[in-house]
C-alpha cells in the first residue's frame, strides 16, 4: 500500500517537479558552460601563446599565426576602437531621436503613440539585422559615396547609422516605459507652478525618468556592441584606424564573423578570435551590472 | 520675470512679459519638433518596409522562387524547418524552466542564480552563441555544419525569452486558482498542469511567436552552426540521406544567411536579386509574426474581459 | 459512491463504525510565522454536523486557525505548527498526507475562485484528480454536487460555459459544489460571503444550514450577525488566542470572559 501510494505520488508530483527542476537548473548549467567555454578558449591566447592582456587590448599589431606554434601578434586595438567608435556614434545619433519619440508617444499624443508608434516600434525591433545590413549596403553606402565623394561608401559613418536605426526602437520603448512610470504628482506639480509643457518635460519629466532612460541607453548600447552581421556588411572590414568618419575600419564582431571559419582549431589565430568573443561576453556582463546598479539606484530613490 | 506692478496693478492677469512669451515660443517649437521626429520615425519605417518589399517584388522571377540553387525556395524551407526544430527544443525546456522558477525554485540563492543566468543568456551577442555552438555542436562532436546544430544555437537565444514569459504569466495568475486547486487535494504539479498552465497559454503563445519571429531573422548564430550551403534533392525522402529535405543533420543555409552571403560571396550575377527577394520574404514574415502576436494578445485580452463581465 | 480511502490509515477505518460526535480535536496548537507566534495554545473540539463559527477582530488568527485544519498553512514559507490536530482520531499532521487531508476537508475562500474552465470542468476537477474518468460517473457527481450547492437549476443548461461568466454569488456556490464533489467530511468557509451582496449572502447561509446535515461546517466570519443567525457553536479569537468557545447563544447572550463581552457588545452598540 505504501509503495503504491509512493508510485502514485511519483506520477502526480515528483515526475513533473523533477522535469521542471532539471530544466530550470539546466539554464544555470548552460550559462556556466558558455561562460567556462569562452573563458577556457579565450584565455589560451594568454596562457598557451604567451601574449599579455596589455598587448591584446592596447596594441594594434594584428598578425596572429594560423598555427599551433603561434608566434604572431594579437593586438586587437583596431577592432576594439572600431566597436567603441561605431557604437558611440550610433548612440549620439539615436538617443535624441529616441527620446523625442518616447516623449511624444507618452506625453504629447498618447493616442497616436498607442495606435501607431508602439506597433511601429515593435515591428522595427523584429526586423532581422541582415535586412538592416542589406538596406545599409544598397542604399546608405552608395548615398555616402555620392554625397561625400569618397572611394568606398563603407565606413564608420555607415556602420553607425545602421546601428543607430537598429537600437532606436530599443531605446525608444524602454525610455517610454520609464517616462510613463514617472509619478503624475511631479507632472501636476510642474503644471501647477505655471510651467509650459516643454518646461515640464525638460525640468521635471526627464530628470525624474533619467535612471530608466540611462537603462534604455545601456540596453541599446549592449545591442549595438553585440551586433555582428549588419555592421560587417557596411563597415568595410579594413584593418586600420579610421582617419575620418568616412573611412572604413573593422570591429570585434565583424572580425569574428568573417575569420572564424578560416582559422584552424587550436591555432593562435583561432585563440585570438576566441579572446575577442570572451571580451564581448565580458562587456555584455558589464552592461548587465550597470543596469543592475541603475535599478538599485532607482529603488533607493523611490 | 519682471512685472511692472505700478502699471499693471489690476491688469496682472493679462500681462504677458517677454519671458513668458519666450516660454510659449519654446513650447511650440518643442511640440513641433516632437511631431516631426516621431512622424519621420513612422515614415522611415514605412519607407524601409516598402523599399524592402518593393525590392523583392522587382526581383520576382519564377527562378527566384524556385527550389533550386539559384532560388530562395530551399532556404525558405530551411528557415522554417530550423525554427520549427528550435521551438521543439526550446519551448518544452523554456516552459518547464519558467515553471520551476515561478513555482518550485526556493527563494534566495537558486532564484537569484536563475535570474542572473536568464539575463546573461538574453544579453549574449548572437555571434558569441554561434561560436559556442560551433565549438560544442560541431567541433566537439566532430561533424559537419548542420541544421540541428543551428536549431540548438537558436534555442539558446530563445530559451530566456520563453522562460521569462512563462514565469511572468504564472506570476500574474490570481493566487486563488492555485489555492483553490490545492484545497481540493491536488498536488502542486497537478495544480500547475491542470489549472495554471492552461490559464497561461495566451501569454506563453505570444512569447513563442516572438521567439519564432526572432529565430527567422537570426543569422550570426547560424553562420558556423547551420552552415552556408544547402543541397536538397526534393525527390529523396530517405531521412538518412544528406540531401533529404527533412534530414536535420545536413547543412542548411537560411534566408538571412543567404542575404548575408550575397554580400560576401557575390559570385553569381543574380546575387543582388536573390538578396532582395530573401529580404522581402524575411520582412513579410516579421510583419506577419508581429501582427499575429499583437492580434493574439488583443484577442486574449478581450476574451478574458468578456469572461469576467 | 466511489472508492474513498479515508485518511489512508487503519485508525480511521476502525473509528468509522462508532463515529464519535467530534470532528476535529485540537490540543495545544501553536503556530509560528518565523519568530512571530500567530496562534497561542488553541484547544478546541469541533462537533460533527454542526456549524462552528470563528469570530474575532481582523488579525486575531481565526483565518490562520482555519487554514491549519486543512494544512493550507503548509504553503506559507517559514510557517510552523506545534501541538496536535486530530481528525476522526487521526493526527492530521503526523499520519496524513496533506493532499489526502485536503480531499476530506474542503475549503471555500473569501474571493470566489472558480478556475478559468467550464462550469462542468470546475466541478469535475476534484473527482478527475481522484482518477474518475467515466463520463456517466462524472455527470452524476457534477449534478449531485451542483444540486447540493442549490445551483443546479440555474446552471444545468450552461454547464459547458466558462465559470468566469457567472455572478459573484453563483461563482461562490459553484466553488462550494466543487468542494463537495470530492465528498469531504468537513467544509471550511473562510469569510465566504464577505465579497457578496446581501441576497447572495442569504443564499449561502441557507445552503450552509442545509449542508450541515451531511457535513461539518467551520466558518470564519467577520459578520457577527451571520454567526448568530446560522452557527451552532462559536469561538471567539483575540490576538492569537481562543478566548471563549461555546454555544452561539451563550457566546452572544451570556459571554463569560471580559474580552468577549467587550467585543460582542461593542459591535452591537
What ranges do the domains of chain A cover? Answer: 1-42, 74-301
- Per residue in C225-243, pLDDT (tens digit) is 999 999 999 999 999 999 9
- What pLDDT, on the 0 to 100 scale, is given for residue B267? 55
Domains, chain B = 53-308 (1.10.3720.10)
What is the secondary structure of B216-264 as a DSSP string?
Answer: HH--TTTTTTT-S-B---TT---TTSTT-TT-TTS-B--HHHHHHHHHH
How far apart are the CA of A49 and the nearest CA of chain B, in angstroms? 20
Residue B67 pLDDT: 77
Q: Read off the pTM.
A: 0.87
pLDDT of residue C167: 92
- Cα Rg, chain B, nearest whole Å: 27
pLDDT at B228: 82
Q: What is the pLDDT of residue A299?
A: 56
Predicted confidence at residue B265, as pLDDT, reads: 55
Q: What is the pLDDT of residue A1?
A: 41
Most confident of A159-173, A198-212, B244-258: A159-173
- The structural domains of chain C, with segments of one domain joined by +, span 6-268
In this predicted structure, what is the pLDDT of residue C77?
Answer: 85
Helix (H, G, I), strand (E, B), or coil: what is residue C232? coil
Grid cell digits, residue A30 = 548552460
Q: How far is A224 from chain C (nearest CA, A)?
A: 43
pLDDT value of position C5 = 44
Ramachandran area for residue B301 (φ above 0: left; ψ -120 to 50: alpha; else beta): alpha
- C6-268 topology per CATH: Rossmann fold (3.40.50)
Q: Which of A44-48, B100-104, C11-15, C129-133 has the lowest mean pLDDT?
A: C11-15
Is the separation of the CB atoms in A251 and A82 below 8 Å? yes
pLDDT tens, C121-167?
Answer: 999 999 999 889 999 999 999 999 999 998 999 999 999 999 999 99
- Which residue in the set A27, A233, A260 is minimally distant from B114, CB to CB? A27
- Collect all residues of chain B within an 8 Å Cβ-Cβ radius of residue C195: none
pLDDT the model gives residue B22: 85
Chain B interface with C: residues with Cβ < 8 Å: 107, 174, 176-177, 179-187, 190, 194-195, 198-199, 304, 306-309
pLDDT at position B91 over 60? yes
Contact: C164, B184; criterion CB under 8 Å: no
Model confidence pLDDT, tens digit, residues B113-127: 999 999 999 999 999
Within an 8 Å CB–CB cutoff, is residue A5 touching chain C?
yes
Closest to A281 measured CA to CA, from A27, A25, A74, A40: A40
Q: What percent of chain B has pLDDT over 90?
A: 45
* Confidence grade of residue B229 (pLDDT, cut at 50, 70, 90): confident
Query: What is chain C's mean pLDDT, rounded?
Result: 88
Measure the CA dihedral C8/C9/C12/C16, to 10°.
80
Measured in angstroms, the CA of C79 and the nearest CA of chain A are apart by 22
SS3 B77: helix
Least CB-CB distance to B42: which of A23, A116, A126? A116
Question: Residue B26 and residue B62: Cα distance in Å, rounded?
Answer: 57
What pLDDT sits at residue B19? 79
With CA atoms as reference, the chain A residue closest to B114 would be A28
Give domain A74-301's CATH superfamily: MetI-like (1.10.3720.10)
On chain C, the residues whose CB falls within 8 A of the CB of B198 are: 116-117
- A275 pLDDT higher than 90: yes
In chain A, which residue's Cα lies nearest the Cα of B225?
A261
Alpha-carbon distance A299 to nearest alpha carbon in chain C (angstroms)? 25
* CA closest to C129 among chain A residues: A12
Chain C partners within 8 Å of A5 (Cβ): 8, 97
C162/B307 touch (CB, cutoff 8 Å), yes or no? yes
Model confidence at B306: pLDDT above 70 = no
Amino acid at each position: 500500500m505504501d509503495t503504491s501510494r509512493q508510485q502514485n505520488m511519483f506520477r502526480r508530483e515528483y515526475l513533473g517537479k523533477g522535469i521542471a527542476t532539471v530544466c530550470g537548473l539546466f539554464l544555470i548549467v548552460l550559462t556556466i558552460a558558455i561562460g567556462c567555454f569562452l573563458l577556457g578558449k579565450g584565455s589560451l591566447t594568454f596562457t598557451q601563446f604567451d601574449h599579455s592582456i596589455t598587448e591584446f587590448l592596447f596594441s594594434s599589431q594584428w598578425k596572429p599565426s594560423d598555427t599551433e606554434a603561434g608566434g604572431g601578434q594579437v593586438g586587437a586595438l583596431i577592432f576594439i576602437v572600431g566597436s567603441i567608435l561605431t557604437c558611440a556614434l550610433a548612440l549620439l545619433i539615436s538617443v535624441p531621436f529616441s527620446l523625442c519619440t518616447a516623449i511624444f508617444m507618452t506625453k504629447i499624443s498618447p493616442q497616436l503613440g498607442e495606435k501607431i508608434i508602439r506597433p511601429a516600434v515593435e515591428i522595427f525591433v523584429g526586423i532581422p539585422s541582415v535586412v538592416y545590413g542589406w538596406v545599409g549596403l544598397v542604399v546608405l553606402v552608395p548615398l555616402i559615396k555620392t554625397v561625400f565623394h569618397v572611394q568606398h561608401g563603407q565606413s564608420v559613418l555607415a556602420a553607425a547609422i545602421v546601428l543607430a536605426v537598429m537600437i532606436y526602437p530599443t531605446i525608444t520603448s524602454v525610455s517610454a516605459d520609464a517616462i510613463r512610470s514617472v509619478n503624475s504628482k511631479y507632472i501636476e506639480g510642474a503644471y501647477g507652478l505655471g510651467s509650459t509643457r516643454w518646461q515640464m518635460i525638460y525640468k521635471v519629466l526627464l530628470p525624474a525618468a533619467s535612471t530608466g532612460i540611462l537603462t534604455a541607453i545601456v540596453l541599446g548600447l549592449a545591442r549595438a556592441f553585440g551586433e555582428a552581421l549588419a555592421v560587417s556588411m557596411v563597415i568595410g572590414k579594413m584593418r586600420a584606424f579610421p582617419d575620418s568618419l568616412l573611412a572604413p575600419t573593422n570591429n570585434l564582431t565583424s572580425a569574428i564573423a568573417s575569420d572564424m571559419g578560416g582559422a584552424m582549431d587550436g591555432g593562435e589565430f583561432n585563440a585570438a578570435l576566441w579572446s575577442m568573443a570572451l571580451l564581448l561576453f565580458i562587456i555584455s556582463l558589464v552592461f548587465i551590472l550597470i543596469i543592475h546598479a541603475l535599478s538599485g539606484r532607482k529603488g533607493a530613490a523611490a | 520675470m519682471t512685472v511692472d506692478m505700478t502699471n499693471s496693478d489690476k491688469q496682472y492677469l493679462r500681462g504677458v512679459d517677454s519671458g513668458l512669451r519666450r516660454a510659449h515660443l519654446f513650447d511650440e517649437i518643442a511640440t513641433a519638433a516632437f511631431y516631426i521626429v516621431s512622424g519621420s520615425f513612422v515614415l522611415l519605417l514605412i519607407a524601409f518596409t516598402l523599399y524592402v518589399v518593393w525590392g523583392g517584388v522587382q526581383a520576382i522571377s519564377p527562378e527566384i522562387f524556385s527550389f533550386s540553387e539559384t532560388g530562395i525556395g530551399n532556404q525558405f524551407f530551411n528557415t522554417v524547418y530550423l525554427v520549427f526544430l528550435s521551438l521543439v527544443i526550446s519551448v518544452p525546456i523554456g516552459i518547464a524552466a519558467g515553471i520551476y522558477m515561478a513555482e518550485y525554485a526556493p527563494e534566495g540563492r537558486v532564484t537569484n542564480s536563475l535570474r542572473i543566468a536568464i539575463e546573461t543568456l538574453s544579453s549574449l551577442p548572437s555571434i558569441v552563441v554561434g561560436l559556442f555552438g560551433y565549438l560544442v555542436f560541431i567541433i566537439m562532436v566532430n561533424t559537419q555544419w548542420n541544421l540541428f546544430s543551428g536549431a540548438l544555437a537558436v534555442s539558446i537565444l530563445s530559451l530566456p525569452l520563453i522562460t521569462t514569459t512563462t514565469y511572468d504569466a504564472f506570476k500574474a495568475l490570481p493566487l486563488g486558482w492555485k489555492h483553490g486547486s490545492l484545497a481540493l487535494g491536488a498536488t502542486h504539479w497537478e495544480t500547475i498542469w491542470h489549472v495554471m498552465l492552461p490559464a497561461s497559454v495566451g501569454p506563453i503563445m505570444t512569447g513563442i511567436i516572438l521567439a519564432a519571429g526572432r529565430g527567422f531573422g537570426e543569422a550570426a548564430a547560424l553562420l558556423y552552426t547551420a552552415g552556408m550551403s544547402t543541397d536538397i534533392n526534393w525527390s529523396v525522402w530517405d531521412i538518412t540521406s544528406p540531401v533529404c529535405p527533412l534530414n536535420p543533420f545536413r547543412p542548411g543555409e537560411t534566408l538571412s544567411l543567404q542575404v548575408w552571403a550575397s554580400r560576401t560571396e557575390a559570385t553569381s550575377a543574380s546575387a543582388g536579386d536573390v538578396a532582395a527577394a530573401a529580404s522581402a520574404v524575411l520582412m513579410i514574415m516579421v510583419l506577419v509574426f508581429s501582427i499575429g502576436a499583437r492580434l493574439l494578445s488583443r484577442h486574449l485580452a478581450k476574451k478574458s474581459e468578456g469572461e469576467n463581465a | 459512491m466511489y472508492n474513498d480511502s479515508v485518511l489512508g490509515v487503519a485508525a480511521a477505518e476502525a473509528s468509522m463504525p462508532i463515529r464519535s460526535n467530534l470532528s476535529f480535536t485540537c490540543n495545544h496548537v501553536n503556530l509560528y510565522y518565523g519568530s512571530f507566534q500567530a496562534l497561542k495554545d488553541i484547544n478546541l473540539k469541533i462537533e460533527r454536523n454542526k456549524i462552528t463559527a470563528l469570530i474575532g477582530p481582523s488579525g486575531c488568527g481565526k483565518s490562520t486557525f482555519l487554514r491549519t485544519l486543512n494544512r493550507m498553512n503548509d504553503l506559507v514559507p517559514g510557517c510552523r505548527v506545534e501541538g496536535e490536530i486530530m481528525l476522526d482520531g487521526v493526527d492530521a499532521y503526523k499520519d496524513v498526507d496533506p493532499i489526502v487531508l485536503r480531499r476530506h476537508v474542503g475549503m471555500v475562500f473569501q474571493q470566489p475562485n472558480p478556475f478559468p474552465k467550464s462550469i462542468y470542468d470546475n466541478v469535475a476537477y476534484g473527482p478527475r484528480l481522484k482518477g474518475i474518468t467515466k463520463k456517466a460517473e462524472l455527470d452524476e457527481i457534477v449534478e449531485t454536487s451542483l444540486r447540493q450547492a442549490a445551483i443546479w437549476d440555474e446552471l444545468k443548461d450552461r454547464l459547458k460555459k466558462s465559470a468566469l461568466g457567472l455572478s459573484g454569488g453563483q461563482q461562490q456556490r459553484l466553488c462550494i459544489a466543487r468542494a463537495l464533489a470530492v465528498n469531504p467530511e468537513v467544509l471550511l468557509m473562510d469569510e465566504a460571503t464577505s465579497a457578496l451582496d446581501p441576497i447572495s449572502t442569504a443564499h449561502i447561509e441557507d445552503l450552509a444550514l442545509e449542508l450541515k446535515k451531511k457535513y461539518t461546517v467551520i466558518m470564519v466570519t467577520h459578520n457577527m450577525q451571520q454567526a448568530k443567525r446560522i452557527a451552532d457553536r462559536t469561538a471567539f479569537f483575540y490576538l492569537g488566542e481562543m478566548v471563549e468557545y461555546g454555544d452561539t447563544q451563550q457566546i452572544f447572550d451570556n459571554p463569560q470572559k471580559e474580552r468577549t463581552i467587550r467585543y460582542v457588545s461593542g459591535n452591537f452598540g
